[in-house]
Amino acid sequence: MNQTLNFTDISSAELEKLCEKHKLSLTLEESQKIVKMLGRNPTITEATIWSIQGSEHSSYKSSRQYLAKLPTDATPVILGPCEDSGIVEMCEINGEKYGIVYSHESHNSPSQLVPFEGAATGVGGICRDIACMGARVIGVLDQLRFGNPKDKKNQIIARGVVEGIAGYGNPLGVPNMGGDIAFDESFDGYTLVNVVALGLVKEKNILHSFAPKNAAKDGYNLIVVGKGSDKSGFGGASFSSQEVNEDEKDKNLGAVQEPNPFLERHLLASFQDLFKILEEKGELNTIGFKDMGAGGILCATLEIAEGAEGCGFGAEVHVENIHVAEEGLPPHVILCSETQERFCFAVPPEMTDFILDHFNKKWDLPKVSPGAKASNVGVINDSGRYTVKSNGEEICNAKVADITEGLRVDRPFVLPQEITQSDEIPELENLSAFLYEFLSRPNLAERTCITEQYDQTVQGATVLQRNYSDAVVAAPLRDFDELSDKDKKNGFAVSIGGSAHLGGVSPYEQGANAVCTAIQRVAATGAYPRSLTDCLNYGNPEKEKDMGIFVSGITGVAESAKNIHLYEHQNEPTPFISGNVSLYKRGNASAIVSCVGSITNVENAVGNIPKEKEIAMLIGSRPKEIGGTEFAKAINDEKKLKFAPAKINFKNAEKNIFSILQAHDKKLISSCSVIAEGGLMNTFLQKCIRGRVGFSGNFSKFSIAELFSEGDGFLVSITPKNQQKFLELMKTLEVPVTVLGEYKKTDAIDGKNFTINNSVLIEGWKKGLRGEVF
């Protein structure tokens, strides 16, 4: 059951067979490092532990040094990216800070193999990352990437993923607050499912995902709460850290976890009850609490036992004490499976029986789900070693630091060559006819066939939904009876950004624009951007070219965040407080970035829908490059032309953002949209569609490239009463403004160089996804 694996003098071919047999992911070099660190051959449990904890998914062994490029500190940050989730200040009321707990995750490989379960467990996992910080989960977002939308297999995967997200988030009782979906043939066979979750917590009630400094001295116990261990998800972290081939689908199915949102909802309620009891006793800050995700009980007990920085704790875990859902499982499977809906506590020994009774008796876990319970599985010590025993037999004994850091690697890379020269853009014979077709493309078409599957308003905090605003706005304090009506209006805006096409042209610009777009979308509502999270989806780091694409992409992400400062603290960068790296993925380089901002009165939040008689104005100048845009894809499916990407000017982007926020402060803007996917033309026509308005104005002054280029810019609508004040403000701020025309109560959209019937446009727009893909 716990054999020793002979890694000494093993060949690459022999190691490959051994790894396939035992579901390991180790290189020959890594196997020799393990032997050197242990001073002997590893047990199968130890080899499994290093395969998981040393994977890219768990240790970021290739990417960690580059993550140091990202800015992580600023005045609003309560907790940066050092635990399961980051925390940013939403507001301060009567001297008490309320924080938004914020985290980002991917479930790419599982969702490709088993779309419903893969996506569902991604939602469950990210919500657990929020809950373990002591927070109430208040929202989720999703950003999805699929291959060619005409391919039946991609359609099946897309439908399964959306159903999985809805199938977990809805019964969990958490609103879906935003996200997007995009298709690009580079993702054929390699779906991206990125998810974000948010929670609310008072600063004084924050829990930490490590044991406190007295844990070893006091002999803290490790308590596992939730489902019984089974073999589902075994090897999931290793599986997510390797290239997955379609012909190996059946072999990898066991690495996908099985979801139970009803159990997780019960657990989240039981935690809130526990936190309230411990707060009343003054004992809330005496415990450690951690989500159990990649690597299961192994990673949770190991990482929580590491303790506060510099403690150097160790732990001893007894496998026979871990509750299981099926008999006959080998010890290393029980320890390392990624069974869902589980958490790990580190608690003082005098609290252990109370914690066990709270879950097993008061909240009756064994009756809620077969095999579910709370179990005392181990103890924290000061040995600095991770020891695992099974019925008295020692099956693991290794230094904690060796497990968590021993397989780090500095990989060589070759940076990608940027496209600097563009082919000539083909002429459009009939711009009006092209626009009807353009708006019906799956990446631009109506999304209600997706969003109608999500509960967007459960919990009652949503103020502006995703269909009415560039960022979702929520007021999570509405049900705090002890607060005044004014205080309850404090809220936040949350957005997401990241082009599906641009990464295939320029990884750097894709990363930079993902940051800029996410920040702009929050600013568009009138909320002040305060923090970011990211999910960095890139290729095989073992290939110099892929590693170079990653380095280029994260450099763009970092430089954008460093150069677009906080509006409230204009000498401070926009900080990343949490994130995720997902390597070994194929498809265009995809940095997916989310932004959270604070707003003191949600009633002042601004959506993106104009009204008749309002004036349309463009903020900022339009780039003349179309590389990596939706327009370039639309005209270039067969011609294979090369177009250079627009290069973001950080100074101008920041100036545009600050000008919009100043105009919001003066209540001069009626609606605001960010110019992103589809460029100025798509942004403008989407406003007409959503507002059911016509238009009379002049777009003829713009070139085709300017009409369809993407990134950095806003399209606002201003009432005639505020027009002059707005123009004077923009002039003072030295921000370019172009008056485009007036929205009308009519079906005709007349831009001088194009004429559109809004009803006909809407008809095609509604069919682009519904009935075609979903």
- pLDDT given for residue 310 in this prediction: 64
> CA–CA distance from 258 to each of 120, 122, 231, 233 (Å)?
9, 11, 10, 8
Q: Which band of pLDDT confidence, cut at 50, 70 and 90, is reported for residue 245?
A: low
* Mean pLDDT for the stretch of residues 22-26: 88
- pLDDT given for residue 309 in this prediction: 66
* Mean pLDDT for the stretch of residues 668-683: 98
569 is catalytic: no
Q: Which band of pLDDT confidence, cut at 50, 70 and 90, is reported for residue 253?
A: very low
Cβ–Cβ under 8 Å, residues 624 and 707: no
E-state strands within 563-657:
576-582, 590-599, 615-619
- Provide the 3-class DSSP secondary structure of residue 695: strand
Give the pair of three-digit tokens for residue 553: 């992409």
Nearest Cα to 174, choosing from 132, 137, 141, 134?
A: 137
Cβ–Cβ under 8 Å, residues 706 and 622: yes
Cβ–Cβ under 8 Å, residues 336 and 53: no
Quick count: other Cβ atoms within 10 Å of Cβ 179?
Answer: 25
Sheet holding 342-347, edge to edge: 288-291, 342-347, 221-226, 373-381, 314-318, 385-390, 393-399
Cβ–Cβ under 8 Å, residues 607 and 102: no
57 is catalytic: yes
> CA–CA distance from 579 to each of 303, 533, 582 (Å)?
17, 5, 10
Distance linking the first and last C-alpha atoms of the chain: 47
Q: Which band of pLDDT confidence, cut at 50, 70 and 90, is reported for residue 405?
A: confident
E-state strands within 402-547:
462-464, 472-474, 491-497, 528-537
Amino acid identity for residue 470 in this structure: D
- pLDDT given for residue 203 in this prediction: 97
d(CA 736, CA 691): 25
Give the pair of three-digit tokens for residue 667: 């209540």
Nearest Cα to 294, choosing from 249, 236, 248?
A: 236
Per residue in 558-581, pLDDT (tens digit) is: 999 999 999 999 999 999 999 999
d(CA 144, CA 766): 19
- pLDDT given for residue 294 in this prediction: 80
Quick one: 572 exposed, middle or buried, by C-beta within 10 A (0-12, 13-18, 19+)?
middle
Amino acid identity for residue 29 in this structure: E
- pLDDT given for residue 239 in this prediction: 46
59 pLDDT above the threshold of 90? no
Q: State the Cα angle at 551 between 82 and 507, rounded to 5°.
A: 115
Per residue in 294-347, pLDDT (tens digit) is: 889 999 999 898 776 667 899 999 999 999 998 899 999 999 998 999 999 999
Cβ–Cβ under 8 Å, residues 317 and 387: yes
The strand pair at 528-537 and 590-599 is best described as antiparallel
- From the candidates 104, 107, 266, 332, which is the catalytic residue? 107
Question: Quick one: how far is CA 223 from the chain centroid?
Answer: 28
Supply the mean pLDDT for the chain: 93
d(CA 556, CA 573): 14
Quick one: 68 exposed, middle or buried, by C-beta within 10 A (0-12, 13-18, 19+)?
exposed
697 pLDDT above the threshold of 70? yes
Nearest Cα to 199, choosing from 260, 271, 263?
A: 271
The least confident of 10-24, 488-502, 591-605 is 10-24
The strand pair at 314-318 and 385-390 is best described as parallel
770 pLDDT above the threshold of 80? yes
d(CA 18, CA 8): 13
Q: Which band of pLDDT confidence, cut at 50, 70 and 90, is reported for residue 238?
A: very low
Per residue in 121-137, pLDDT (tens digit) is: 999 999 999 999 999 99
Per residue in 96-121, pLDDT (tens digit) is: 999 999 999 999 988 998 999 999 99
Region of residue 60 (phi > 0: left; psi between -120 and 50: alpha; otherwise: beta): left
* Mean pLDDT for the stretch of residues 261-265: 95
Quick count: other Cβ atoms within 10 Å of Cβ 310?
Answer: 6
741 pLDDT above the threshold of 50? yes
Cβ–Cβ under 8 Å, residues 140 and 128: no
Per residue in 197-207, pLDDT (tens digit) is: 999 999 999 99
* Mean pLDDT for the stretch of residues 233-243: 52
- Sign of the dihedral defined by the CA atoms of residues 66, 70, 73, 79, in that order: negative
Cβ–Cβ under 8 Å, residues 109 and 102: no
pTM over 0.85: yes
Question: Quick one: how far is CA 418 from the chain centroid?
Answer: 27
Give the pair of three-digit tokens for residue 514: 């993902």
48 pLDDT above the threshold of 80? yes
- Sign of the dihedral defined by the CA atoms of residues 83, 85, 86, 90, in that order: negative
216 pLDDT above the threshold of 90? yes
What element of type H or E holds 374? Answer: strand 373-381
- Provide the 3-class DSSP secondary structure of residue 453: coil
Cβ–Cβ under 8 Å, residues 542 and 620: no
Dmax over CA atoms of the chain, in Å, equals 83
- Provide the 3-class DSSP secondary structure of residue 769: coil
258 pLDDT above the threshold of 70? yes
- From the candidates 57, 104, 208, 358, which is the catalytic residue? 57
What would the 3-class secondary structure string for 313-370 be? Answer: CEEEEEHHHCCECCCCCCHHHHHHCCCCCEEEEEECHHHHHHHHHHHHHHCCHHHHCC
Per residue in 162-172, pLDDT (tens digit) is: 999 999 999 99
